[in-house]
Structure 1
Amino acid sequence: MPPIRDSGSPTAAEISAKVRPRVLVEQNSSDEQWIAIPEPVVERLRQFGRPTPLHRARRLEQHLGTGARIYLKREDVLPTGSFKLNTAIAQAYYAAEEGRTTLVTETGAGQWGMSVALAAKMFGLKAEIFMVRCSLEQKPYRRHYMELLGATVRPSPSAHTAIGRKILGEVPDHPGSLGTAISDAIEHALHDSSAAYLAGSGMPHVYLHQTLLGLEVAQQLKDIHGEDLGVEGRGDHLIACSGGGSNLCGLIGPHLRARAEGADLRFLAAESTAAPRLTQGVYEYGRTDLGAFTPEVLGYTMGESFVPPPNHVGGLRNHHSSALVSLLRHEGVLDAVAFDQRTALEAGRQLLQTEGLLLAPESGHAVAAALEVVAKADAENLEPVIVILASGSGFLDLQGYDEVLLDI
């Protein structure tokens, strides 16, 4: 589908400068190794439960009969049920400090939208959220949560925007994707001078905020074992699902230097076969949205005409991977695997039956990847430390578990 905007429209850089809080734009290109977290953000992060637990999955280990040590970083325990709250609080704070009154964003499975809705309320702001249509239909309780907090929730593609109307005119039953929702949200924000557009993933400032994940894991493992990850000969692993890449980059980002300096450490992205960019995509320039509001970036892509099937992994359904995730993959720093939703949900069921933890379908992909890593390590007589990012809770995804695993 050709972009709706013409050559005389503002550039992606001009759009970003208009719709994003200034501090976030600056953080995208900062060369500082450390950026201080504002105290009001620290206060709310602590109130909401940071640092989150690092759970040793001993019953899963026993079930598998493995010598590997398996840990889950429990982001599912946060109030909105996912890691997304980490950057939502920071971005909402910067927007409020700049005098913006409305937060506008997209959401796939709804976890990011829930986090923005809560963060907006914490800082006295309004929230307007475009949610991928098939996810909105599959996960209505996430919409109820957002609306309880006063947020306005619209399906994407949306008849509320020009790009949404164009998409619906060409594909009336379009299930929506992160690409359509990003387009809807940015176009809407452009027409409201009081609004700030917040990105849930794909941007350097989001990855920066999410490095809380990897930093906490490093400290927690050191407290437990008295040693860092990457011990020679052990082949330790950090594993996360990959959609926009924010939970993945947040987990592995603080460990990239150690890997570059020779630590025996592997990074693994688990994606969905519904949008297998890292495993089947082409490495070329493209955009994450369909309205040409975002810049063209070099990344693994399925192409802008690709419409992912309407399955139950809304957070992983995008056609184009982020520049940073793609670069790490292209340079061989990051490995990637893809699973269909049944395999991911089966892995989630296995975790529930052993550890009593119910994770979101997106996180189930990371569990499935970890099970393969464990089997390979056992075959090679290795006993690595394996950290799985439990990025979200699955209690609002029970319909998906039911439909896929019970064939209803």
Structure 2
Amino acid sequence: MTTSNWLLPEHLSDILPAEARRIEELRRAMLDLYRNCGFELVAPPLVEYTDSLFVGNSQDLKLQTNKLVDQLSGRTMGVRADMTSQVARIDAHLLNREGVARLCYCGSVLHARPSGLLADRELLQIGAEIYGYSGYEADLQIIQLALDSLALAGVQNTSLDLNHPGVSRALIEAAGLQEQAGEVLSLLKEKDVPGLRQLFEATTGVPDDIAAALIRLPSLYGDGNVLTEAASALPDLPGIRAALQALRTLVDALDATSVGIDLADVKGYDYHSGVSFAIFGRGWPDAIVRGGRYDNAGSSFGRARAATGFSLDLRKVSAGLAPAEPSRAVRAPWNSDPALGEKVRQLRQDGNVVVQFFPGTTQSIDEFVFDRELVSDNGQWVLKSTN
């Protein structure tokens, strides 16, 4: 049995010219946006030791990381599946600044398995992080920047969902279900109320009011009024009070008509320490952007810092947009006339795409639409429309 040498592994794909050009344009535009907001660009390596990649207790990150052995040291390295921990390492260990640091990044990441049926394993992750400030203002800036990023890309009809893991964390701890947290979180994520009921019927020692609250949690989603409903429906635990207050502060600071609450969105439970969020858009099957607060992630590097940020996959964003349009271009002949060479250089300096056709050849180009051409007219090279 033979295998074609051009066949790619499952859930990996090539990106063809028009799409690749649009992704690169989005990358440049978003990084310029972040720079204009005071974020500094960093570029961590594609692989590093797993000791520093696996910051915190994120089991999902460990499962998503492809591992290999470093031929120089013999230690285990990982191909990054997420860049956030790398940026936290840079802030804590390399920059080691006092006060607020704003950092942004963009690079490829590789997942061991696709995160969904339609997902790729290679992502082009771009994001921004704020370190050294625990106030809600940092969360607010990060959320606004994430929304601005999608608006810049042309994503319309976005919706923002907020959550705080402090709610589910307080209930799981009060139920004494820390060892079964994975099962509880999976049921919450699927909003599987019958499954939750069966779990509590088969588990002894869970207080009735805590079990009832966890069963109620999947129904606590909607607009900002959900916070008032949650305050009266859930037990008066310190962790729940603090989480609901943090959410209320952000809802009041944002446009309430575009903000939703989903207290059963437990993605990132073992990673996020404060308000988390997801942004959805019409035409995408799941969240386009995810982010939130992850204080003290840098403690693994010897320096605990307040931290909040977001990331998105540029390939995923581009794939959900209308097909990329070809670029307007100028067709030109190829010869040794210095005047032609000067004219071509001038047009390119002015921002035009100029493609010179070699003598006796044809070209098949999907990326460009040739709406003008350079022709010789009485010894002068002039632009003429091809229409």
Q: Aligning the two structures, in what range does the TM-score lie when normalised by the shorter sequence?
A: under 0.3
TM-score by length of 1: 0.23
More strand by share: 2
TM-score by length of 2: 0.24
Q: Looking at secondary structure, tell me which structure has more helix per residue.
A: 1
